[in-house]
Amino acid sequence: MFRDVTFRSGIATLVGRPNVGKSTLLNQLVGTKVSIVSDRPQTTRNQIHGVWNGPGRQIVFIDTPGIHKPKTELGRRLNQRSTDALSAVDVICFLIDSTAEIGAGDRFIAGLLAELDTPVVLVVNKTDAASPQEILAHLAGAAGTLGDFAAYVPLSAQTGDGADALLEEITSRLPEGPQYYPDGVVSDQPDTFLAAELLREKLLAMAREELPHSLAVTVEEVEERPNLLVLRAVVRVERDSQKGIVIGKGGAVIKEAGTAARLELEALLGTKVHLETQVKVDKDWQRRPDALDRLGL
């Protein structure tokens, strides 16, 4: 029996409209948290790389911001990052939500993908929250309204059910290639980036509707001590009223969010962390190109 001993590797990007579960799927596939998760649209602002390793195979996943109709310069840049991630990859995973109707946003993305030669795997996500009839309807509807795809995979990013089938579809399409990252590496993001994103995730969960897009977090100072990582983070908002929301009465909100982020970061990094936070007002930062450049957005 012939056995393929050639090492195969490649890049797979996850695309879809906001809130279809791209970040949850990335974390599920690589087995740990590399991308923050929130039910607020446009939570992901950067291209997050996650690494999956299998026998003789390696996939570098790119999690992208949800493609949407932008209202600010930040939104325009997020869309650009997502569309940039469609080029020079080996496989595209196009996620749709099995609990929501196929909409204009899905059709717009499908139109972009139809112009590419890259194989596209349609992923019907959130099957844990949908009935078998709804899942079948989405598979049939996608084939009828979104176009033809290389493969169709229903799965639950939340539970992992169907993830193996998706990995099989991707790895079967990988070219021969090198091992880009050593075994054990699950992301190329620095610890400072992860710390900033975790703090933003906790604040988004607590602030809810008040400031989903007006929040930016950066770690601007790092100090490594024996068995201790000291991080100094700056939380930026656009208005004084938002600063009060982030800080909370008596500093309760920022303290609780900082503690939750610190504990999760310690578990992920395996070391003690001291996380200091400061809240600043940076007026209309998401609409100002100079501010976005400074923040790396």
Which one-letter DSSP state was computed for residue 214? S
Higher pLDDT: 48 or 101? It is: 101
Mean pLDDT of 254-278: 90
Mean pLDDT of 216-225: 88
On whether the CB atoms of residues 61 and 89 are closer than 8 A, the answer is no
What is the model's pLDDT at position 167?
Answer: 97
Mean pLDDT of 5-10: 88
Residue 207 Cα distances to 46, 62, 136, 251, angstroms: 21, 28, 37, 13
As a whole-number percent, the residues of the chain with pLDDT over 90 amount to: 37
Residue ranges of E strands in the chain? 8-15, 48-54, 57-63, 91-97, 120-125, 151-154, 216-225, 228-237, 272-281
All domains of the chain in start order, with CATH: 8-171 (3.40.50.300), 191-294 (3.30.300.20)
Q: Which of 121-130, 203-212, 243-252 has the lowest mean pLDDT?
A: 203-212
Flag whether pLDDT at 281 surpasses 80.
yes
**CB-CB neighbours of 183 under 10 Å:** 8
- Residue 61: φ, ψ to 5°: -90, 145
How many angstroms separate the CA atoms of 166 and 109, rounded? 20
127: pLDDT confidence band, cut at 50, 70 and 90?
very high
What is the model's pLDDT at position 115?
Answer: 86
User: C-alpha dihedral over 133, 134, 136, 142, to 10 degrees?
Assistant: 160
- Measured over all CA atoms, what is the biggest interatomic distance in the chain, rounded to whole angstroms? 69
Residue ranges of E strands in 138-271? 151-154, 216-225, 228-237
**CB-CB neighbours of 102 under 10 Å:** 18
Amino acid code (one letter) for 17: R
* Contacts (Cβ under 8 Å, ≥6 apart) of 86: 13, 15, 92, 112, 113, 116, 118
280: pLDDT confidence band, cut at 50, 70 and 90?
very high
* Average pLDDT across the chain, whole number: 84
On whether the CB atoms of residues 43 and 23 are closer than 8 A, the answer is yes
Mean pLDDT of 28-57: 72
Cα-based angle 144, 149, 155 (whole degrees, multiple of 5) = 90
67: pLDDT confidence band, cut at 50, 70 and 90?
low
Higher pLDDT: 208 or 256? It is: 256
Q: Read off the pTM.
A: 0.73
Which one-letter DSSP state was computed for residue 286? G
Q: Which of 87-91, 195-199, 290-294 has the lowest mean pLDDT?
A: 290-294
Report the interhelical angle of 240-247 vs 252-269 (nearest 10°): 60
Among residues 22, 76, 73, 19, which one has the least CA distance to residue 47? 22
